[in-house]
Amino acid sequence: MKYAERHYESKDGLKLFFRDYGPAEGPAAPVVCLPGLTRNSRDFTFLARHLASERRVVCPDLRGRGYSQWDDDYRNYNPAIYVEDVIQLIESERLSKTVLIGTSLGGFIAMIIGATRPDLVSAVVSNDAGPEVDPNGLARISQYAGAQGPAPSWAEAAKVCRNNYGDAFPGLSNEDWMEFAHQTYRAGDDGVIRLDVDPRVGDAVRELDSTPADLWPLFSMLKDMPMLVIRGARSDILSETTIAKMVKVKRDLKTATIPDRGHAPLLNEIESLVALDSFLDGLGEKAVNPALSRERA
């Protein structure tokens, strides 16, 4: 399925990129897919194509990632600014009652926007992210975020990805790891294969207080928001205990655990797709067309 490559401008003037799949108007609500800390829009290629037959699917690169402009001030690599950027995207593209699907950091962004701007959001899907973060998993991410150097070849890039993420994704084939590498790295105009993220994103994370923020008050604000939480069975970020607590706070919370996946499920697993399709079908949105007309660039 083809997609458009488009840009919008953040409030502070950065040129930010997004992939735009599917019809301008469809029988179902538009979706915005939000990537993890060092990830980008390419992570959602499979899912976007799966969903885009009947809805618009927008997959942005957060600032400092992918084809989005890097920020001169690395302190702007923080959740408050990311939330502002995503809201700017939703409003500038005139997306109405969007379904937010976020992986890891993207899940936190989705929950924040769903809690604070419910006028923009019809439902939230959080992929391996919740109100509590396991400190061990956070420490692991902080160590490697933005720290890897260039790869001498695509084969070496795939090897590095396997070494870093192999425990989280057992059973991936050599072809899978090569695809993962192409989602993680990008060859520059000079031909050098580098991580597709500003290294200062990692610097910003390592300078933050290592104690995860208490997001339970924010989560309680989602009591009226349809929500699905997907968890990797091997996750070191989102625990079974946290999922159980979330269900106690939000009785209508939908959950799915993906076998043989750590942090975070790739959202191309059959279990992930079944959970997502069931959740979206349950929204009862197909009787209306919530997307607003607009012309594509």
For 7-31, how does the pLDDT look when each residue is reduced to its tens digit (9 = 90+)? 999 999 999 999 999 998 888 999 9
pLDDT of residue 208: 67
> How far, in Å, CA of 139 to CA of 25, rounded?
42
pLDDT at residue 290 is higher than 50: no
Sorting pLDDT into bands at 50, 70 and 90, what band is 214? confident
pLDDT of residue 203: 87
In terms of pLDDT, which residue wins out, 210 or 184?
184
Whether pTM exceeds 0.85: yes
For 88-130, how does the pLDDT look when each residue is reduced to its tens digit (9 = 90+)? 999 999 998 999 999 999 999 999 999 999 999 999 999 999 9
Q: Say if residues 48 and 3 touch (Cβ distance below 8 Å).
A: yes
pLDDT of residue 206: 80
For 259-269, how does the pLDDT look when each residue is reduced to its tens digit (9 = 90+)? 999 999 999 99
Average pLDDT over residues 163-184: 96
pLDDT at residue 288 is higher than 50: no
For 18-68, how does the pLDDT look when each residue is reduced to its tens digit (9 = 90+)? 999 999 888 899 999 999 999 999 999 999 999 999 899 999 999 999 999
Sorting pLDDT into bands at 50, 70 and 90, what band is 207? confident
Burial zone of 136 (CB within 10 Å; 0-12 exposed, 13-18 middle, 19+ buried)? exposed
- Note the Cα 107 to chain centre separation in Å: 6
CATH fourth-level superfamily of 3-131+215-281: Alpha/Beta hydrolase fold, catalytic domain (3.40.50.1820)
Amino acid identity, position 115:
A
Beta bridge partners of 194: 186
pLDDT at residue 146 is higher than 70: no
Average pLDDT over residues 170-183: 97
For 225-260, how does the pLDDT look when each residue is reduced to its tens digit (9 = 90+)? 999 999 999 999 999 999 999 999 999 999 999 999
> Hey, where are the domains in the chain?
3-131+215-281
